[in-house]
Amino acid sequence: MPREEEPKESAEDAAWAAIVANYGERAVLDDQDAVPGGSHPEPEITDGAEPIPGDTIDEADGADGADEPESAYLEDEGRYIPPPPPPVPRPPLDRLIAWIGVFGSPAALLVCMIAGIQIPIWLGWAMVIGFIGGFGYLLARSPGTPRDPWDDGSRV
């Protein structure tokens, strides 16, 4: 059995060696720059691209950035600036009371229960009735049909 695995492993090793040999761009090495003793300087990788003018920083420009090289980025390039959003609409008083019943009653009961505050039994039942009544009112007032018959519910 070991003899059958050896060709398979050597084939895999050869495939990996081929992948590694053909991966990426080749570094250009000069034989004159080689340092004896096994340590070599960093190779210069060339991709054929020309250097961009103004890509280097001159010391005469000032190290504190007083010349404001980012001023080109600060200019308005005609980008779209959306208008301010409209104010949040306030619900009518009847729906506001219903929403307070739906969210406020359970929240108040939860806070009282966690804090250990004893409330009268009639107030607890009033909060339960407020929750059920508010939920029922909101459900009854919800429209049965969509505003737009061809609307699938998605909005941008």
The per-residue pLDDT for range 87-102, each reduced to its tens digit, is 999 999 999 999 999 9
Write down the mean pLDDT value for the chain: 76
Whether 127 maps to a domain, the answer reads yes
Average pLDDT value for residue range 82-86: 92
Q: What is the DSSP letter of 148?
A: S
Whether 29 maps to a domain, the answer reads no
Whether 46 maps to a domain, the answer reads no
Whether 110 maps to a domain, the answer reads yes
Q: Amino acid identity of 31? A: D
Whether 42 maps to a domain, the answer reads no
Q: Amino acid identity of 120? A: P
SS3 assignment for 92-125: CHHHHHHHHHHHHHHHHHHHHHHHCCCCCHHHHH
| Number of independent structural domains in the chain | 1
Domain containing 100 equals: 93-141
Q: What is the DSSP letter of 28?
A: E
Whether 100 maps to a domain, the answer reads yes
* Dihedral sign, Cα of residue 40, residue 45, residue 46, residue 50: negative
Whether 17 maps to a domain, the answer reads no
In this prediction the pTM is: 0.42
